[in-house]
A and B are shown apart, each in its own frame.
Chain A
Amino acid sequence: MNKQTKANRINAKHSTGPKSTEGKQRASLNALAHGLNQRIDHLICPEASLLQTLFENDGIATVEALALAEAHVTRARVRAARQHAWRAIYGDAEIDPKQRGSLTNASPELLAAVNQQMGGRDWQHFLPFLFEKPFESGGEQDDQAALRFLDKQRRLNRYEVKAVSQLSKLYKRAYQ
């Protein structure tokens, strides 16, 4: 055993990582960003098996039906991730329906008065649901938020391209 390996083993004993099964399970999800690279587990995603049944009932062979079902599930996962990105613009907080969009058509005078009271217009960034139109309050901060949002959407594209092109190929092959 070389010196480095020995040091690694000693250091590993100092580790304060999770000990309980629950903790280990939780920590196993630490690196999970969106789960779009994960294989589709039919126990966790029973809808994949349901879709497979639908394709099989449509006269498609089992292997192709399974592939089609999984591609549909992947596409649905990407859509959910996109929706998450959209929702992040508005914030995840539960919003009182009465407050929703209450300032969308507010007059500039009213907004100016509130800005004055709040000492600037930062509050508009923290309460975007009052406006219901994202990125309309103006300023660099909004530009950056818009850019981040679009970049997130762009990064999801490759998963969607993969799923949709896979689906197209499979449909062509299965229904030729």
Chain B
Amino acid sequence: MASKKSKKSSGQSAVLTDNLGSQLNVDEAELLSKIPWFNERYLLPGESLSDYDTSLQLLVESVVVKDALDAILVKDIHDELREVKRLRVLRQSFFIRGMASRLSDLLSTHFSMDEDPRVTEVLAAWREDPEIGNEALFELLDELGVTMDEIRVSVFSRSAKNLQLLEQQLARHEKNVRESLKMIDARRNHALVRERLAFDLERDREQQLTCNPDDE
């Protein structure tokens, strides 16, 4: 039986064995450090390693990882959540790119970029922060008789196929997170039932001993 003495695994640069620190016993940490995909940080260019570790650590603490199998499921959940985050950023980037391209096409068709400096300025300002209201841009669109809502609709309809695929992917990953949480729950409920059964058995045995002290 594995000793319950907490000790960090040495050797490989294990993701969760680093992060879990005191939660795992030595044998389990050693086993986990030998699973290559468990120790893989799924990062893309530009993504920060410390962000990855911090978010993983937060999840590990919030789920209260108790053993190696919990750790594997938590790592799964963490990677799925990162995937969800990436896809959300991608969805936003589709939309912003589509809006930028549509606005640029529309304004450059009706106004001369060289003669009217307003066009370059409003486009630059919009790209800087698409969220804030841009009065100068609204004025130019008013002159054309087009509203931002109409542009949004045209962008949505143009990117409909991509957005639909992206939504499917998001739903897929969110479902995976729910399934992994159910797996953790199943293990914990099972452990509780086992503890309860062991407790009941022990109590029955004690009761029997109390009733029949000669049996001892």
Are B34 and A138 in contact, with the CB atoms below 8 A?
Answer: no
Which residues of chain B are near A153, meaning CB under 8 Å?
165, 169
* B76 interfacial by beta-carbon distance below 8 Å: yes
Cross-chain contact A135 with B72 (CB below 8 angstroms): no
What residues of chain B lie closer than 8 Å to A73, measured between beta carbons?
Answer: 37
- Would B182 and A168 count as touching, CB distance under 8 A? yes
The 8 Å CB contact of A55, one of B36, B42, B69, B124, is: B69
Structural contact, B31 and A53, CB atoms closer than 8 A: yes
Which size class do A's interface residues fall under? Answer: 35 or more
Please give me the residue from chain B that is nearest to A95 by CB atom: B45
- CB-defined contacts of B165 to chain A, threshold 8 Å: 147, 150-151, 153-154
Q: How many Å from the CB of A42 to the closest CB on chain B?
A: 13
Which one of A150, A151, A175 lies within 8 Å of B186 (CB-CB)?
A: A175
Q: Does A154 contact B34, Cβ atoms closer than 8 Å?
A: no
Whether, in the assembled complex, B52 has its beta carbon less than 8 Å from a beta carbon of chain A, the answer is no
* Interfacial residues of chain B within 171-191, with CB under 8 A of chain A in the complex: 172, 175-176, 179, 182-183, 186-187, 189-190
> A135 → chain B, closest Cβ, in Å?
6
Q: Would B45 and A136 count as touching, CB distance under 8 A? A: no
* Minimum C-beta distance from A140 to chain B (A): 10
Q: Is A160 an interface residue when CB atoms closer than 8 A count as contact?
A: yes
B68 on the A face (CB < 8 A): yes
- With A100-B46, A142-B97 known as contacts, the answer to whether A108 contacts B183 (CB < 8 A) is no
Query: Which of B12-20, B86-94, B139-147, B199-207 participates in binding chain A?
Result: B86-94
Report chain B residues within 8 Å CB of A133. 89, 93
Q: What chain A residues lie within 8 Å of B101 (beta carbons)?
A: 138-139
**Given contacts A55-B69, A108-B123, A50 and B179 within 8 Å (CB-CB):** no
What separation, in Å, do the CA atoms of A168 and B179 have in the docked complex?
A: 7
Q: How many A-B residue pairs have CB under 8 A?
A: 115
A22 at the B interface (CB under 8 A): no
Q: Please measure, in the bound complex, the distance between the C-alpha atom of A73 and the C-alpha atom of B189, giving whole angstroms.
A: 24
Selecting from A4-12, A33-41, A78-86, the interface stretch reads A78-86
Cα(A110)–Cα(B171), bound, Å: 39
Q: A50-B31, A54-B68 are in contact. Are A147 and B93 (CB under 8 A)?
A: no
Interface string of A146-176 (1 = CB under 8 A from B): 1100110110010011001001100110011
A138 to B96, CA, bound (A): 10
Contact in complex: B46, A132 (CB < 8 Å): yes
Chain B 11-44, CB within 8 Å of chain A: the 1/0 string?
A: 0000000000000000010010011111010101
Residue contacts A-B, CB under 8 angstroms, 23 given: A50-B31, A54-B28, A55-B69, A58-B67, A79-B42, A82-B83, A83-B42, A87-B44, A101-B45, A109-B124, A129-B45, A135-B94, A135-B97, A137-B97, A138-B97, A139-B101, A142-B97, A143-B162, A160-B172, A164-B176, A164-B179, A167-B183, A171-B182
A residues lining the B interface (CB < 8 Å):
46-47, 50-51, 53-55, 57-59, 72-73, 75-76, 79-80, 82-83, 86-87, 90, 95, 100-101, 104, 107-109, 129, 132-139, 142-143, 146-147, 150-151, 153-154, 157, 160-161, 164, 167-168, 171-172, 175-176
Residues of B bordering A, CB below 8 Å: 2, 28, 31, 34-38, 40, 42, 44-46, 67-69, 72, 76, 79, 83, 86, 89-90, 93-94, 96-97, 100-101, 120, 123-124, 127, 159, 161-162, 165-166, 168-169, 172, 175-176, 179, 182-183, 186-187, 189-190, 194
